[in-house]
Amino acid sequence: MVDKPKIDLGTEEIVNPSPTISKGTDCGSPPHVVYLTETFYISSKKNTVFEVRLTDKGLSLKKQSNGSTKEQTIPLKDIIGCRCLRSKRKGKGSSACACTSISGTAQLKVVEENSGEQDESDVSAYLYIYAYILKRNRRGGFRERTTITLRFRSFDKYEDNNKEAQKWRAAIKYLVAGETSIRPTYQPKETRKMLVVLNPKSGSGKAREMFQQRVAPVLAEAEISYDLHITKKPDWAREFVRNRDIYLWRGIVVVGGDGIFYEVLNGLFEREDWQTAIDELAIGIIPCGSGNGLAKTIAHLYDEPFETKPILASALTMVKGKHSMLDIVRVETRSQIMFSFLSVGWGLISDIDIESERLRAIGGQRFTLWSVHRLISLRTYQGKVSYIPALVSNMNRSNSLPREGGGGGGGGVGLLKHSISYNTTLDCHDCRSGGGGGPNDSHSNCDACDTNFSDVLSLETGSNLDTFRPRIDSWYSATSRKSTYFSTVDSIYESDRASNEGAPTGTNVVQMYGPPSRLPALTASLSDSWKTIDGEFVMVHAAYQTHLSTDCYFAPLSKLNDGIIWLLIIRAGVSRSQLLSFMLGLSSGSHIPTQANQYIQMIPVTAFRIEPSGSTPGHMTVDGENVEYGPIQAEIFPSLAKVMVPK
C-alpha cells in the first residue's frame, strides 16, 4: 500500500481540492501526485485528443489519436516558467475577426492581458509554458528550448478562460519553485529583483548584446525582474557593491568574466557588514569573458551541458534560484589583502594569462597562442614555496575522477524530439552539430513531422472539435527579441548615463574586512608544520575550482566547497616534452603525471606561501588578475560565500 504524500494545502482555496495519487505509467514506476488534469485538442487534427496532467513529476501530455496512445512528460526541473497572455489585436488591413484562418507562416501575436493591444474578439486565454529539455549525446548533451501553448477557450468570457489558465500557471509556478502549497493565484516568496552587473569590455566585448539576446529572454520566460547596471571602468562593480544598499536585491549576477566576479566578491568583503552580505546574497555568473573558469566549473560539477551554449546554461542556473557554498581563499601580498575564488599563480600560466591580454580581441584562443609562444621562450623563477598539506583521507577520489566529454550519465529525457526555429534567438552555436542526439539522431525516432506532438505544442480546450476555429498558429513569437526583452515586469536597464549617476561615491576610505588571517605575518618565519621547497620553478599555480578556463581542466578533484587548495608545482629541469605533454593534457585533465614525478607535482594544501627571490621579470595573478610581484601567501576559508548553481 502506498501512503498518500502529505501536501500542505494552506489556508486559501486550493487549485485541486483533492490532488490524486496516480499509479506510474510504467510498470514499477512510483506513483505520483496529480494536481491538475484537463483535456485539450488540436484544431488542425480531428480525432486527436491530449490529456494534459500536472503532476509532482512534471507536465504529462498523453496523446490519443486513432486508437493509439503516446505519453511524454516534461520534467518539472526542466520547466523554467509560464505566462498567461492574450491574442493581440490585428493591425489595419488584416481581418478583425478571430475566426479567420491565419494562413501560411503568419503567427498569432500575443500580449499581456492589460496591454491595451489585446484582441477583445478572442476570448481565449493562452498559457505559455517554457522548458529547456535536457538531451544527452556522446558529447555530454544540450538543452533544447520547448514551448507548450495551452489555449483555454471553454468559456464564452475571457475572464473565465483566464481564471482557468491562471490556475494552471499558479500550480506550475509553485511546483517549479519546489513548493507544494498550491494556491489559485501565484504569489512568489521572493519579490526583490536580481542585480545584474555587466562588464561591456569582457571577453571580445559583446557582453551587452549577449545579455540582451540570450539572457533577457530566459529571464522574461521565468518572470524574473532585474536591475541591469553596466560597468563604466575597472573597479566600478567593486565600488558599486561596496557602497550600495545591496539588500534591495535578491542576488547578484555578473555578466562577464572571472575578473568581474572577483570585483564583486571583493566589493562585498570591503563592506563593514560583509558577513551579512555574503550570507544573504548568492553571486551568479553569466560567462562572457575569455576564461570563464568559474562558470565552466559549476556546469562541470553539476553535469550541465555547457560547451555548445554556455550563456544559456548559466542563464538557466540564474533562474533556478539555487546556490551552493563556495570556498574562498584569503590572499595577502605586501600591500594588499584579497579574497579569491579561483586561483593564485606565479610563473608560466600567469605569464600567459597576463601577457596574452594584447590578443583579447580573439577571445579564448589567446591563451593557446600565447602558450605556444611561452613554451618556446621558457622562463624559470628562483624562490621558495611553502605549504600546509591538507588532510585528504576523507576525499572520495573515485567519485571525482575526470569525466570524458564534460560529464555523462543520464539518459535522454522524454519524447520531445526537435525544436523549431526558436533556438536561433538564443546561443548562436549550433548545439546539435556533431555527436549523437543531433537533428538526424532526433529525427530518426521521433514525431518530427507531426507538429501536433512536437516541442512547440499548441493545444486548445473545448469539447466540440467541429466548432474549432481553423487556426494552428497559437505560438508565442519568441523570435521577437525586443518584446521579450523589455516585457519582464519592472526590470530596468541602466544606461551608461544612469549607471554613472548611480556610480559609487568613491569618497570612503576603503578597508578590506572579511575573516582575519590565521597565518603568520607575511614577513614572519613559518613553523615546522609547513613544508618548504627551495629552488627554481617554471610555475607554481594554486587552484580551487576544477577549471581555470573553459578548456583548462586544472584541478579535476576539486569541489566548490571541499576546503582544499590544489597546489601545482613545476620545477626547473622539467623537459620541454614533459611540459608540452602537461600543457596538452590541461584541456582533458590528464596533465598530472600518473607516476611520481620530481618535476611536476599536484599537492592538496590548506595554505601556502610563495617567496620569489630571483631577478627574472614575471607575473603573479589572483583569479587571473595581475597583482604585485613579490611574496604572497594564501589560506582557504571553506564555505564562506554562496554561488548560484543549477540544482
260 binds ligand ATP (CB under 6 A): yes
**Choices 10-18, 183-191, 193-201, 296-304 (CB under 6 A): range interacting with ligand ATP:** 193-201
Which of 19, 58, 203, 407 contacts ligand ATP by CB under 6 A? 203
Q: Please tell me the distance from the alpha carbon of residue 49 to that of residue 465, in angstroms, as a whole number.
A: 10
Helix (H) or strand (E) segment spanning residue 349: helix 348-355
CB of 284 to ligand ATP, least distance (A): 14
For ligand ATP, the closer CB: 406 or 624: 624
Write down the least CB distance from residue 394 to ligand ATP, Å.
32
Q: How far is the CB of 189 from ligand ATP (least distance, A)?
A: 31
Q: Does 290 bind ligand ATP (CB under 6 A)?
A: yes
Q: Which of 119, 122, 258, 623 is catalytic?
A: 258
Q: What is the dihedral of CA 87, 92, 98, 103, to 10 degrees?
A: -100
Where does this chain touch ligand ATP (CB under 6 A) — which range of 64-72, 117-125, 199-207, 536-544? 199-207
515 lies in the binding site for ligand ATP (CB under 6 A): no
In this complex, which beta carbon is closest to ligand ATP, that of residue 297 or of residue 558?
297
CA distance 155 to 133: 32
Instruction: State how far the Cα of 428 lies from the Cα of 433, in Å rounded to an integer.
Output: 12
Residue 200 or 412 with smaller CB distance to ligand ATP: 200
- Coil, strand or helix at 157: coil
Residue number of the CB atom closest to ligand ATP: 257
Number of residues that bind ligand ATP (CB under 6 A): 23
Nearer to ligand ATP, 195 or 592 (CB): 195
Q: How many angstroms separate the CA atoms of 294 and 285, rounded?
A: 8
Q: Compute CA 468 distance to the chain's CA centroid, rounded to the nearest angstrom.
A: 41
Comparing CB distances to ligand ATP, the nearer of 41 and 306 is 306
Residue linked to cell 506510474: 24
Are the beta carbons of 589 and 305 closer than 8 angstroms?
A: no
Q: Which of 78, 122, 258, 327 is in the footprint of ligand ATP by CB under 6 A?
A: 258
Asked whether the beta carbons of 110 and 83 are under 8 A apart, the reply is no
Check binding of 345 to ligand ATP (CB under 6 A): no
- By CB under 6 A, tell whether 297 contacts ligand ATP: no
Active site residue 496: no
Minimum distance of ligand ATP from residue 244's CB (angstroms): 16
In the chain, how long is the greatest CA-to-CA distance? 88
Beta strands in 442-530 (DSSP E): 456-460, 492-493
Give the residue with the Cβ less far from ligand ATP, 203 or 514. 203
In the complex, what is the shortest distance from the CB of residue 358 to ligand ATP, in angstroms, rounded to a whole number? Answer: 13
Single out the residue of 336, 258, 327, 262 nearest to residue 632, CA to CA: 336
Of residues 327 and 625, the one with the C-beta less far from ligand ATP: 625
Answer for which of 19, 141, 256, 305 binds ligand ATP (CB under 6 A) is: 256
Among 259, 383, 514, 631, binds ligand ATP (CB under 6 A): 259
Question: At closest approach, how far in Å is the CB of 506 from ligand ATP?
Answer: 15
Q: Which three cell numbers stand for residue 50?
A: 491530449
Instruction: Count CB atoms within 10 A of the CB of residue 350.
Output: 25
Task: Output the CA–CA distances (angstroms, integers) from residue 358 to 178, 282, 452, in the order listed.
Answer: 47, 33, 53
Residue range at the interface with ligand ATP (CB under 6 A); choices 285-293, 302-310, 470-478, 633-641: 285-293
Distance CA 361, CA 185 (A): 49
Cβ closest to ligand ATP, residue 199 vs residue 314: 199
- Phi, psi (degrees; rounded to nearest 5) at 88: -90, 145
**Which residues from 478-507 bind ligand ATP, rule CB under 6 A?**
none
Does residue 284 belong to the site contacting ligand ATP (CB under 6 A)? no
Question: Which string of x and - marks every residue 611-640 that binds ligand ATP (by CB under 6 A)?
Answer: -------------xx---------------
Q: Which of 286, 359, 340 is nearest to 624 (CA)?
A: 340
Contact range with ligand ATP by CB under 6 A, out of 194-202, 276-284, 451-459, 568-576 = 194-202
Distance in Å, CB of 230 to ligand ATP, minimum: 7
Residue among 207, 239, 255 at smallest CA distance from 500: 239
Among 292, 340, 558, 633, interactor with ligand ATP by CB under 6 A: 292
For 404, other C-beta atoms within 10 Å of its C-beta total 11
Nearer to ligand ATP, 199 or 371 (CB): 199
> Which among 182-190, 256-264, 559-567, 629-637 is the span making contact with ligand ATP, rule CB under 6 A?
256-264
- C-alpha of 535 from chain center: 42
Tell me the window of 250-258, 399-407, 447-455, 483-491 that interacts with ligand ATP (CB under 6 A).
250-258
Our CB check for ligand ATP shows the closer of 237 and 316 to be: 237
The reply on whether position 200 binds ligand ATP by CB under 6 A is: yes
Q: Which of residues 216-245 bind ligand ATP (CB under 6 A)?
A: 231-236
Task: Locate 447 and state its grid cell.
Answer: 514525431
Q: Which three cell numbers, joined as nine digits, stand for 299?
A: 556546469
Of 31, 34, 47, 132, nearest to 81 by C-alpha is 132
Query: Residue 565 is inside which H or E element, if any?
Result: strand 565-571
CB atoms within 10 A of CB 580: 13
Q: Grid coordinates representing 54?
A: 500536472
> Between 267 and 321, whose beta carbon lies closer to ligand ATP?
267
Q: How many CA atoms lie within 13 A of 576 on its CB side?
A: 9
Query: From CA 538, how far away is CA 575, in angstroms rounded?
Result: 11
The runs of H, that is alpha helices, within 409-453 are: 439-444
Rounded least distance, CB 526 to ligand ATP, Å: 31
Q: Nearest distance from residue 381's CB to ligand ATP, in Å?
A: 23
> Shortest approach of ligand ATP to residue 53 CB, angstroms?
44
Residues in Cβ contact with 513 at an 8 Å cutoff, skipping those fewer than 6 apart:
269, 270, 271, 272, 274
Instruction: Determine the residue type at 362.
Output: I
* Catalytic residue list: 258
Contacts with ligand ATP by CB under 6 A lie at 199-203, 231-236, 256-260, 263, 289-292, 624-625
